Amino acid sequence: MWRRVVSLYPLLSPSKSSVLHRAKGGIASKEKTPFITFVLGGPGSGKGTQCAKIVETFGFTHLSAGDLLRKEISSNSENGAMILDTIKEGKIVPSEVTVKLIQKEIESSDNYKFLIDGFPRCEKNRIAFEQIIGKEPNIVLFFDCPEYEMVKRVLSRNEGRVDDNVDTIKKRLKVFSALNLPVIKHYTEKGKVCKINAVGTVDEVFEQVRQIFTELMV
């Protein structure tokens, strides 16, 4: 026990420990109550990369709001054109559209552990989720990354995304500061946020993430 506390100390501040303590009841539940993790951070902070590793190691289902919206565009859904225009501008798609896509995935899944990545992007997203799904997140991961690093990563992502260019990234960073940081502040005040230093190699960042989920799964 002593060794465990000592080894966690540099990464888990006392407040982070209490975030985990509060969240534990949910994940240990035998009922199929969803355990919801919101995964937040600016564009290129490494959310998707780390979610893939959490899925592999801890058996979560990964729901990326951006991926669900891009799927709507490529399936020529009725909202496809509107979503494409919104993404090109780095703006936020109407909350009801995004929450309904997430809801469909949650309801059709056999899993009960979810990573909801890139959501909520703004207070309207957050409130719509709480109203439509009727649940708050058990925990919120925040990948804290300086802008220069996010810009560097986005510009070298090379996945052919319409929004990974200098003009759109500037807009996305502004939207992140103006609309997403207030959501992170809200959940920080509710004691739900685990802040992760997103600078470092993928494996170095994942070590911080691993410690959080290892604590949660106990």
153 binds, among Mg ion, ligand C5P, ligand ADP, none (CB under 5 to 8 A by kind): ligand ADP
CB atoms within 10 A of CB 32: 9
Longest dimension (CA), the chain: 57
Residue 148 found at the interface with ligand ADP (CB under 6 A): no
CB atoms within 10 A of CB 87: 20
H-state helical runs in 38-146? 47-58, 65-74, 80-88, 95-107, 123-132
**Which region, judged by CB under 6 A, interacts with ligand ADP, from 10-18, 19-27, 84-92, 196-204?**
196-204
Q: How far is the CB of 91 from ligand C5P (least distance, A)?
A: 6
For ligand ADP, the closer CB: 36 or 173: 173
Cite the beta strand spans of the chain per DSSP E: 35-41, 61-64, 113-117, 139-144, 193-197
Residue 180 found at the interface with ligand ADP (CB under 6 A): no
Q: Which of positions 108-167 make contact with ligand C5P (CB under 6 A)?
A: 118-119, 121, 125, 163
CA–CA dist 134, 128 (Å, integer): 9
CA–CA dist 84, 133 (Å, integer): 25
Question: Which residue has its beta carbon closest to ligand C5P?
Answer: 66
**Which region, judged by CB under 6 A, interacts with ligand ADP, from 28-36, 54-62, 106-114, 200-208?**
200-208
CA–CA dist 217, 146 (Å, integer): 30
Residue 172 found at the interface with ligand C5P (CB under 6 A): yes
115 binds, among ligand ADP, Mg ion, ligand C5P, none (CB under 5 to 8 A by kind): none
Site string for ligand C5P, 79-118 (x = CB under 6 A): -------xx--xxxx----x-------------------x
Residue 45 found at the interface with ligand ADP (CB under 6 A): yes
**Among 49, 79, 86, 214, contact with ligand ADP (rule: CB under 6 A):** 49
CA distances from 33 to 107, 110, 112, 113, 133 (A): 11, 11, 6, 9, 12
Which amino acid, 1? M
Site residues (vs Mg ion, CB under 5 A): 47-48
Site residues (vs ligand C5P, CB under 6 A): 43, 64-66, 69, 86-87, 90-93, 98, 118-119, 121, 125, 163, 172
